[in-house]
Amino acid sequence: MAYANEFRAMLKEHPGIIRTAIGLANRAVDEYDPPDNPIPGYYRDVRFDKKTGKWLEEERHILLNEQGKTYIDPVSGKTATKPVGWKDLTFGRGTILVPGKPVTDENTRLELTVLGRSNREMPLWSTGIRFDKCDYFKVGHEGHNFFVKRSIITNNPGFNEFRNTILAKEVLKNMDFVKVVEAQLGYEDQNESWYVSKWEDLEKAGFGTFDIGIRSNDYGEKKEGLLSGFGVIPYKEYLVQETEYKEAEKKADLIRHKLYEAGIHHDVDANLFYNIKTRTFILLDVAGEPTKALGNPIREK
């Protein structure tokens, strides 16, 4: 277990608050049941399966005409399809965040909101599969807000992530154009892990994932207008001036290079956010080599 000093002081000032937070987390997860079709502009209906904790998308088959050719709808002019069932979500990285209803402890006034749940299988290369089973929360207490991740299966358990985040802050300290999220706690045992960082406003503050599009965003709200048809618009498309994008890309390359040298560069493109107005970056979820993973997340197909 590892703490930031100020977070440790807060825990000492409020004994039992961790136990209260765990109880609220369990209650909120039990009640979590977000609505269907929560991705604006996505071309398939999406739903959350409460029993498995997985996001599913409607599976559709193309309709054929009597000649066995693709049937084109005469009204819309598009290929006609029909729903045939549900399958694991393929949009982005297989999970999205749809906040649930806040739950509050009356004694401590601790408030917790489920941001989303992840129970996904992601293909790796040609032979591997990466499993991920996590819950994401926003926790508020006495004017302070925190991002909390509870993991059952992950290649980036809490103590590792805390350590990697502190290291990233050190290796990027001379770059005034990037901020690393403030890690507060990292804990892991053989069964689960917890990671806590200070809350950072992203979309509300004008940040978006920089290079590979909002489909890789596991933190914050999805916005209307960032989605386009079957895919997404990479954030660089919003950098109107080519010179500005080249300048930002050069800075992003420096960040990637420093993290690569430190061995904490995994998933950096999914967790590097950029603000067009301030021309600055925020780095979240710092991941290194999965040498001490939790729950056997990397498996052969």
Q: Which domain holds residue 124?
A: 2-33+94-283
Domain presence at residue 41: no
Mean pLDDT for the chain overall: 83
Q: What is the pLDDT of residues 255-297, one digit of tens each?
A: 999 999 999 998 888 888 888 788 899 999 898 876 668 888 8
Domain presence at residue 265: yes
Domain presence at residue 166: yes
Mode of pairing for the β-strands spanning 111-124 and 103-104: antiparallel
Domain presence at residue 65: no
In terms of C-beta density within 10 A (0-12 exposed, 13-18 middle, 19 or more buried), how is residue 193 classed? buried
Q: What percent of the chain has pLDDT over 90?
A: 46
The Cβ of residue 57 has, within 10 Å, a number of other Cβ atoms equal to 20
Q: SS in 3 state form for 135-161?
A: EEEEEEECCEEEEEEEEEEECCCHHHH
Domain presence at residue 57: no
What is the domain count for the chain? 1
Q: What is the pLDDT of residues 48-93, one digit of tens each?
A: 999 999 999 988 888 887 778 888 878 877 787 788 899 998 877 7
Q: What is the pLDDT of residues 7-23, one digit of tens each?
A: 999 999 998 999 999 99
Domain presence at residue 19: yes
Q: What is the pLDDT of residues 116-149, one digit of tens each?
A: 999 988 887 667 888 899 999 999 998 999 999 9
